[in-house]
Chains A and B, each alone.
Chain A
Amino acid sequence: MPEQLLQQIVNGLMIGFMYSLVAIGLTLIWGVMNIVNFAHGDFLMIGMFTSFWLFTIFGLDPLFSIPICFLLLFILGIAIYRFIVSKVMKGPMLAQLVVTFGISIFLSNLAVYFWTPDFRLISTTFLQGTWDVGGINISVPKAIASIGSVITSICLFLFMKKTKTGKAILATEMNRESALLMGINTERINSLSFGIGAALVGVAGAFLSTYYYIYPQVGGLFGTIAFAVVALGGFGSIEGAFIAGILVGLAQTLGGFYFDPSYKYAIVFMIYLITIWIRPQGLLGW
């Protein structure tokens, strides 16, 4: 029994780190611009398809397509911000809410149009099989993906805390007017943050594509979970999103293990509801 429990904890951690990385990009965009990016899950989907096609056409292993996914989604994020989102930033709240929702529907349907709604898998990456660690089975692609997620999250964390640009993003997030007075071009920070947020979820997509089904609607599930993770961790808090992602991953696998796998998402969202009932600002929110 303890072995099975340990197995569930390991599984929960592995999916949790994935959720963390997806949610960090979302919380960054929210923190800087107060915009809910409903298209975040679809950015993930584009990352996954990018990795899939690079593998299918050029035989490029998903691990090597990570920088390409990062760059592509970074550019896509900046373009979407510049040409669409920034136009409605000055408009009414509802317009801001609806615009990313529209981008989401557009992207997922574009994917259906080009690539059909079929489910696809990358079958033969050199990340295959499982490790047996003391009776616990660890899937190699999942393990690599979660280690990669942690490393990427730490890189972002260091970028925010140690670099001049990272601090400028934090400053803009805390007090936009003061940031302007310091000489920070906050409009550029907006577009940079949108780009970084998208790039991070693009990296998550590349990692996820090594073991998860790739299909146009995949963003729906991950996007919804990412919202719960961001709200649980505290809107705008990167550390909060990281921790909440792990909690949600654990809740999902342990809940599925102790109750019934079909309830796993219900349990995740119940924890979320209870948390915001007790602490509306989320675990590490302010």
Chain B
Amino acid sequence: MLSVNNISVGYKGLLAVQDVSFQINQGEIVSLIGSNGAGKSTIVKTVAGLMHPVKGEITFEKEPIHTIPPYDVVKKKISMIPEGRQLFGRLSVLDNLLLGSYSLTSNEEIQKTLENVYRLFPILKERKNQRSDTFSGGEQQQLAIARGLMSRPSLLMLDEPSLGLGPKLVSDIFRIIQEINCNGVTILLVEQNVHEALEISHRAYVLQTGRVVLEGKGEELLQSDLVRQAYLGM
């Protein structure tokens, strides 16, 4: 479905990502894991079109997408939930959700998507008129995910969805991600919460200083020495 081929991405001449390749198949949950500065966020930003690779190419459903702007990437049914939620704080929950469906044109489709999203996150329906910056961290993350779903993506990318949340909320978020995946949405997950991420992932790629150093099935990586030592402290 998504194929990233030998991309290098840089900020002002310094390459944050070097020669990275990976694939995601329809229906999978794939994780990119690694420590801070490993280049995980840069990769999802590049797929989303916020950054462009200096080398390599990205194809989605066999179409190249690495040169198009982010607002056109959304139309290809790729949605990204940025790190730190990045909600429109002074707007209501409903307005945030409707902005999520900005790329959709049919009102009927928007209403249907809204109903689906409300079913997944009932609290958002109860508080649809509340300003989003009055929400707690966990609620904001729910809203961020809901907003990302409003464009009806076939590929959903989440950048550090568990960041800043307590253990109970973290497992809630991961459960929701699995549920979204069960509804047929392919997931690309970027996480520092390695253990939880690997548990729900079909496959994962481990990144270090901008390169893929290991790949494999979620449970295999959980057993690997590199992952256990570097990220799980075992």
Measured between C-beta atoms, what is the minimum distance from B62 to chain A in Å? 22
Contact with A along B83-116 (1 / 0, CB 8 A): 0001111110001001110110000000000000
Give which listed residue, B49, B50, B69, B100, contacts A182 with CB less than 8 A.
B100
Q: Which of B70, B75, B89, B95 contacts A181 (CB 8 A)?
A: B70
Contact: A170 with B103, CB < 8 Å? no
Cβ contact of A178, chosen from B49, B69, B82, B103, cutoff 8 A: B82
With beta carbons under 8 angstroms apart, the residue of A168, A174, A177, A186 that contacts B89 is: A174
Interface string of B55-83 (1 = CB under 8 A from A): 00000000000000111001100011010
B99 and A168: CB pair below 8 A?
yes
Q: How many interface contacts (CB-CB < 8 Å) are there between A and B?
A: 64
Q: How large is the interface on A (under 10, 10 to 19, 20 to 34, 35 or more residues)?
A: 10 to 19
Is A164 an interface residue, CB under 8 A from the partner?
yes
* Number of interface residues, chain B, beta carbon within 8 A: 25
The reply to whether A175 and B88 contact each other, CB–CB distance below 8 Å, is yes
Pairwise interchain contact B98-A167, C-beta atoms closer than 8 A:
yes
Interface of A is mostly: helix
A175 touches B102 (CB 8 A): no
**B151 in the interface (beta carbon within 8 A):** yes
Judged by a CB distance under 8 angstroms, whether A95 is at the interface is no
Q: Which residue of A164, A174, A180, A185 is within 8 Å of B88 (Cβ)?
A: A174
What residues of chain B have their CB less than 8 Å away from a CB belonging to chain A?
48-50, 69-71, 74-75, 79-80, 82, 86-91, 95, 98-100, 102-103, 147, 151
Q: List 22 A-B contacts (CB under 8 A).
A: A167-B91, A167-B98, A167-B99, A171-B88, A171-B91, A174-B88, A174-B90, A175-B87, A177-B50, A177-B82, A177-B86, A178-B82, A178-B88, A180-B70, A180-B71, A181-B50, A181-B80, A181-B86, A182-B102, A183-B74, A183-B103, A184-B71
